[in-house]
Structure 1
């Protein structure tokens, strides 16, 4: 029996440190000693629930169940929001297990212990991923959710010869720029101010446009129409703002987690043949492919590092909640 240190949300919205005796592993489970955890924007939505925070875990397997065949003790692994799927529904059987009808995942199946801001965790082998040696833990942790979030729409919807617009240069945006440019796409970044222009170009963008104060985006001077528009910012706006710079049959892909409604102009959407496409977390195969691609193409994360202590976790949560994080937080146990 292992007693894990865990950092949970609470009804007050404060981070609390707790201890929890983990259950014995089942034949298809492993015990992971957590070394690092990313902190994602969606964690902020969970702060008033008493669940273990975090869903971007990296760690070392300390025990493996008798039925585990893919992973072994000593392997460095990572996991994202999903912890278990049924394996039998039409989505699971067609390789779209992220859309399983009865998933067990972070924040969905109640007040659970599926989080990653902790010392140890029990996980199903099914949803664990080997971390390539070429990826540091600080780079790998944000990829377990943030990386997968931008990877799926890029590989599903974007071709190498297309112009891909990325709205927002933050936790998701700085990864989307790198992935899209390494895939061969012409990357066009839209950000509110000019402050991040040089950084966007260093990450792989071909063009950069500051939108603050502009109400008619046809005046931005965008060189050619945008084929695919990936929205990574959490700011809400009428999607019609971007219609003047979109190609016909453009696809708009909103990725951030938020409430409320998407707003788009009806007739221009119909007449121009635009599509608005939702995208869930990565299924298992594309997640593994994303990690391999990131290692081979040296995708990196811009992170702030924090210790896995109550003070460190609280500081990271506060900076993320206040919009001060640049761009992802990684919380780590001291070696």
Structure 2
């Protein structure tokens, strides 16, 4: 379809119509681009565990029909006349949100993801509108220039896609707590987030230990850069590693005994969670008090920080370990993600949409 300022864009993708429904082919209209917008042909989109949660309404906040996907890479098709940073053909990415600070007096570029007025890439609403935001399980997207990331040439578009959520989600706390040479860091969980966290912490100069439920992924962890791997199903692990780490970063969403992990932290050290357990987690004051330890959380990253992360990854050769899938296999992929049966991130090749012609 020829693009004009008043002509809605038709897009193809996959959507779910409800919490108990599979994802199916879906044709919909993208908004017409404004002067400050970038129109992107999507090449790849990562499959985040939160996509599964959102599609199934696990958090009770889902809107349908839903086109998931917030780990998007692609190529600029065209730009509005006010766009200065991008041009046709540029390699770009879109992460977890497409606008921010919409209820504030100005944009806070350092803390925008923590402030009211955040517009999520999918399962949200366009500013000042009841139109839903629809994500990256589709062939195109229209986004304001200020929320578009530049993907360095050193990063392949497919393996870079998961960095737009998984990457910045672990990069942000590692940077915030100043992980660097000599730091002793433990990563809890070796999944989509954890495997990237190991690579990033190692690239920052830290000595990295992986704490996984079993030792099944020991060889993988060592290849990724970990110095040691311990099984958390063994009580001896928590005794042997008492007060061993400056920082423990938990990437898991399952049941975790935070009190036990706090015991692994040195004086003035920090336990950070980026995973979201399904229910409340009891915490005792004693393990916090005796080591002047901190318990903290972290939530993705700003656009500024996400670009910093991409540039860091390009310099250090950090990408996600991926399994490419066709969009037609997305429901199988969702089932495998729910069982942690992926090493370590599914990425959808959106060219696969062409195999079925125009979706309906």
* Interval of TM-score (by shorter of Structure 1 and Structure 2): over 0.9
Corresponding residue of 1:204: 225
Shift, 1:333, TM fit = 2.5
Structure 2 residue corresponding to 1:51, chosen from 61, 66, 86 = 66
1:315 matched to 2:332? The reply is yes
Q: Please tell me whether the aligned partners of residues 70 and 96 of structure 2 are also in contact (alpha carbons under 8 angstroms).
A: yes
Structure 2 partner of 1:3: 10
Query: How far does residue 58 in structure 1 lie from its aligned partner after superposition?
Result: 0.7
Q: 1:112 aligns with which of 132, 141, 144?
A: 132
Q: What is residue 143 of structure 2 aligned with on the other side?
A: 123
Superposed CA deviations along residues 208-262 of structure 1, whole A, max 9, x for unmatched, are: 11122x235443x339611101001122122111233221222111112343223
For the pair 1:93 / 2:114, whether they are aligned, the reply is: no
Match of 1:26 in 2: 34
Structure 1's 223 and 185: CA in aligned 2 closer, same or farther, altered over 3 A? farther
What is the aligned partner in structure 2 of residue 142 from structure 1?
A: 162
8 A Cα contact 1:215 1:241, kept in partner = no
How far, CA to CA, are the matches of 2:22 and 2:293 in structure 1?
42
Distance between the aligned counterparts of 1:274 and 1:132, measured in 2? 38
Contact 1:91 1:99 in 2 (8 A): no
User: Do the aligned partners of 1:150 and 1:172 also contact (CA within 8 Å) in 2?
Assistant: yes
Q: Give the TM-score taking structure 1 as reference length.
A: 0.92
Q: Would you say the 8 A contact 2:154–2:314 is kept in 1?
A: yes
Asked whether the 8 Å contact 2:47–2:346 carries over to 1, the reply is yes
Deviation of 1:91 (Å): 8.7
Match of 2:262 in 1: 243
Name the counterpart of 1:169: 190
Matched-pair contact (CA < 8 Å) for 1:158–1:164: no
State whether residues 87 and 97 of structure 1, in contact with CA within 8 Å, keep that contact through their aligned partners in structure 2: no
In structure 2, the partner of 1:40 is 48
Secondary structure of the residue aligned to 1:291 is helix
Relative to structure 1, the CA distance from residue 142 to residue 91 in structure 2 (aligned partners, 3 Å threshold; closer, same or farther) is: farther
Q: 4+ runs of 1 displaced by more than 6 Å? A: none
Q: CA RMSD in A?
A: 2.0
| Cα distance between partner residues in 2 of 1:248 and 1:254 | 18
Matched, 1:280 2:299: yes
2:341 aligns with 324
Residues 70 and 122 in structure 2, CA contact (< 8 A), matched pair in contact too: no
Cα offset for 1:43? 0.3
> For the Cα contact (< 8 Å) 1:83–1:114, is it kept in 2?
no
Q: Is the CA contact (8 Å cut-off) linking 2:120 and 2:133 kept in structure 1?
A: no
Q: CA deviation at 1:138?
A: 1.7
Tell me by how many angstroms 1:323 deviates.
Answer: 2.3
Pairing partner for 2:202 from 176, 181, 202: 181
Q: Structure 2 stretches of 5 or more lacking a match?
A: 1-6, 57-63, 126-130, 353-360
Secondary structure of 1:229's aligned partner = strand
Q: Aligned-pair distance for 1:268?
A: 2.0
Tell me the number of residue pairs that the alignment of Structure 1 and Structure 2 aligns. 331
Q: Deviations over 1:267-293 (max 9, x none)?
A: 221232111111111112211111011
Residue aligned with 1:306, SS:
strand
Compute the TM-score of the two structures, normalised by the length of structure 2. Answer: 0.86
